[in-house]
Structures are given as structure tokens and as C-alpha cells.
């Protein structure tokens, strides 16, 4: 018999974007699968969103999914980037009350993500922060990476004034209604996706709460500092323009924009109308 007293937490959908993660993702999925099976008193689903992987990430995820029925995959052939993968994954929002995401490398341990979920009653979106007092960082990023990240933070603060200390932490959770309301304004496929998401939420009047989190930097990062930074810089300028009154006057510059993104080999989101998640693969 279903024990209704046990079901006291909201249904939760966790997305994990993954690109060539065959070497890092298995223990992470097992940890999350085990942790949420044992500790989460509500429906839990974990969807790994892959695109164009050139290794066997898909087979690895499928193997783990045999042991954890809560795990499934969503796969795309196109190079849609982390942001593009999350834009597609967030179309599954109707499946749950809360929708969140974390990185595939285990930078955020399951209990740290659960801590964000526990604070979901306090805001429309709760994000982990590595720069607030009380956060725990196990391995620090390289000096160059930290410098680039602080410069990026400064630019984002100047352009958007969101007063968010850490926009780039890979752990975030949102209420379904907020995701559904802002989804049409998500169009940044690269690592600046988070700025697109957070600014869209704030612009629509949703409350974003930043809480200290636990984070471990892992080796095997997909970030190539120069190209990723340049793409992210371009993307934040683009987001700023999209939200400015002059955007429609800039239409003639669209081919230039496409050309620069192509030169930078920057990912683009899938075009077209919102999907219905029909390519969601549950157990193999």
C-alpha cells in the first residue's frame, strides 16, 4: 500500500547536461541515484541530456539506468552545448514541481543539491554559490580560471546589476511555473546560459535566492579558457541587447553575429517550436 505520509517533498526533476563524460559520469549517477532513493521523500527523476558525444557516455548512462529506474536520457545529434541541452531538458518541466540541474562531474555532491531543494520554499529559484560565506570549496580552480571568472562576474554585474555573487555555479533549482514562464526567452547555448536564465527570471519578477554550497573542481573540464571566455562575453552582450529597446534595429547585424559564433565554434540551440520530450528514453 502507498504510504502517503512518506510523500512529503515535491516531485523533482534533475537534469544533467553531459558532453563526452564517459570517464566522469558513472560514479556521479550512482551517487545521485542511491542518495535520492534513500533520502528523498517525493518523486525523483534524473535525466541526462547528451548531444553529439564522441565517446560512449550514452552506453555508460544506460548501464547505470538499468540499476536506477529514476534515471533516463535525452539525446540530440546537434552540437547544442550545455545551454542548448538545458533548454531542451527544461521542456520536460511539466513532469515535476521542481526542476534543477547539476554538472556531470560531481562538482556538487547529492546532499548539497538536496540542500538547495530544501530551500525551494523561500524563492522561485535557488542557486548554489561558491562565493558566499559558509560555502565549502574542496579544490580551487586554477589562478587563470579564477581570474577569468572574476572578470566575467564584473562584466555581468555592470551589464545586468543582478547582485548575484556566483551566477556560474552548476547547481540550480526552480519551480515549474517559473521555468515555464521564462522558457521562451532562453536562447543562449554556451556557458553564458546561466546568465540568460537568471536575467530572464529576474526580469519577469521571479525571486532568485543564492545560498552557500559545497563544490569540488574536477579535472577534465570542457572549458577552453580563451574560446569559452570570448563566446561567453559575446553572449552576455547579446543578452543585454536582446533586453534593450534597440534590439530590433540591430537585425541587419544578424549575419555578422552568426559568422562570429561560427568562427568561435560556439554552440547554437536547436531551432523550432518547443518540444514535447518525446525523445525521452527511459530504461534501455
Ligand X SMILES: Nc1nc2c(ncn2[C@@H]2O[C@H](COP(=O)(O)OP(=O)(O)O)[C@@H](O)[C@H]2O)c(=O)[nH]1
Considering only 26-34, 102-110, 181-189, 247-255, which stretch makes contact with Mg ion by CB under 5 A?
A: 102-110
Nearer to ligand X, 23 or 207 (CB): 23
Sign of the four-CA dihedral 169, 71, 23, 53: negative
Work out what residue 176 binds among Mg ion, ligand X, none; the CB cut-off runs from 5 to 8 Å by kind.
Answer: none
**E strand or H helix at 17:** strand 12-18
**E strand or H helix at 153:** helix 143-160
Nearer to ligand X, 51 or 213 (CB): 51
> Nearest distance from residue 238's CB to ligand X, in Å?
18
> Nearest distance from residue 25's CB to ligand X, in Å?
8
Nine cell digits for residue 260: 562570429
Nearer to ligand X, 92 or 123 (CB): 92
> Nearest distance from residue 120's CB to Mg ion, in Å?
24
Q: What does the binding site for ligand X look like in residue numbers (CB under 6 A)?
A: 17-19, 21, 49-51, 81-82, 85, 103-105, 107, 170, 221-223, 267
Considering only 98-106, 129-137, 176-184, 196-204, which stretch makes contact with Mg ion by CB under 5 A?
A: 98-106
Work out what residue 50 binds among ligand X, Mg ion, none; the CB cut-off runs from 5 to 8 Å by kind.
Answer: ligand X
Contact 171, 249 (CB under 8 A): no
- Distance, in Å, from the CA atom of 205 to the CA atom of 284, rounded to the nearest integer, reads 41
Q: Which residues contact 75 (CB under 8 A, 6 or more apart)?
A: 49, 50, 51, 58, 279, 281
Closest CA to 82 of 21, 127, 17: 17
> Nearest distance from residue 191's CB to ligand X, in Å?
7
- Residue 3 burial by Cβ neighbours in a 10 Å radius (0-12, 13-18, 19+): exposed
Contact 84, 197 (CB under 8 A): no
Nearer to ligand X, 55 or 122 (CB): 55
> Nearest distance from residue 131's CB to ligand X, in Å?
15
Size of the site for Mg ion (CB under 5 A): 3
Work out what residue 18 binds among Mg ion, ligand X, none; the CB cut-off runs from 5 to 8 Å by kind.
Answer: ligand X
> Nearest distance from residue 23's CB to ligand X, in Å?
11
Contact 183, 93 (CB under 8 A): yes
Is 105 among the residues that bind Mg ion (CB under 5 A)?
yes
Beta strands 280-281; 71-76: pairing state: antiparallel
> Nearest distance from residue 233's CB to ligand X, in Å?
16
- Distance, in Å, from the CA atom of 136 to the CA atom of 72, rounded to the nearest integer, reads 30
Nearer to ligand X, 17 or 212 (CB): 17
What residue ranges bind Mg ion (CB under 5 A)? 103, 105, 107
Amino acid at each position: 500500500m502507498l504510504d502517503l505520509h512518506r510523500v512529503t517533498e515535491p516531485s523533482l526533476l534533475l537534469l544533467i547536461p553531459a558532453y563526452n563524460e564517459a570517464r566522469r559520469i558513472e560514479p556521479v549517477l550512482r551517487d545521485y541515484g542511491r542518495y535520492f532513493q534513500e533520502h528523498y521523500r517525493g518523486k525523483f527523476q534524473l535525466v541526462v541530456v547528451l548531444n553529439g558525444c564522441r565517446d560512449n557516455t550514452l552506453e555508460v548512462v544506460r548501464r547505470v539506468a538499468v540499476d536506477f529506474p529514476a534515471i533516463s536520457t535525452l539525446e540530440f545529434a546537434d552540437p547544442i552545448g550545455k545551454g542548448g541541452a538545458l533548454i531542451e531538458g527544461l521542456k520536460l518541466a511539466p513532469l515535476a514541481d521542481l526542476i534543477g540541474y547539476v554538472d556531470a562531474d560531481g562538482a556538487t555532491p547529492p546532499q548539497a543539491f538536496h540542500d538547495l531543494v530544501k530551500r525551494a520554499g523561500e524563492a522561485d529559484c535557488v542557486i548554489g554559490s561558491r562565493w558566499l560565506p559558509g560555502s565549502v570549496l574542496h579544490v580551487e580552480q586554477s589562478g587563470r580560471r579564477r581570474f577569468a571568472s572574476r572578470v566575467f562576474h564584473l562584466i555581468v554585474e555592470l551589464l545586468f546589476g543582478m547582485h548575484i555573487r556566483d551566477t556560474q555555479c552548476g547547481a540550480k533549482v526552480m519551480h515549474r511555473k517559473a521555468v515555464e514562464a521564462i522558457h521562451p526567452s532562453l536562447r543562449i547555448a554556451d556557458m553564458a546560459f546561466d546568465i540568460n536564465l537568471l536575467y530572464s527570471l529576474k526580469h519577469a519578477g521571479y525571486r532568485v535566492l543564492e545560498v552557500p554550497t559545497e563544490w569540488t573542481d574536477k579535472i577534465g573540464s570542457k572549458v577552453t579558457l580563451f574560446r569559452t571566455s570570448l563566446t561567453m562575453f559575446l553572449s552576455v552582450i547579446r543578452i543585454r541587447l536582446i533586453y534593450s529597446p534597440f534590439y530590433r534595429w540591430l537585425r541587419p547585424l544578424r549575419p555578422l553575429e552568426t559568422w562570429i559564433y561560427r568562427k568561435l565554434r560556439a554552440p547554437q540551440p536547436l531551432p523550432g517550436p518547443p518540444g514535447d520530450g518525446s525523445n525521452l528514453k527511459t530504461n534501455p
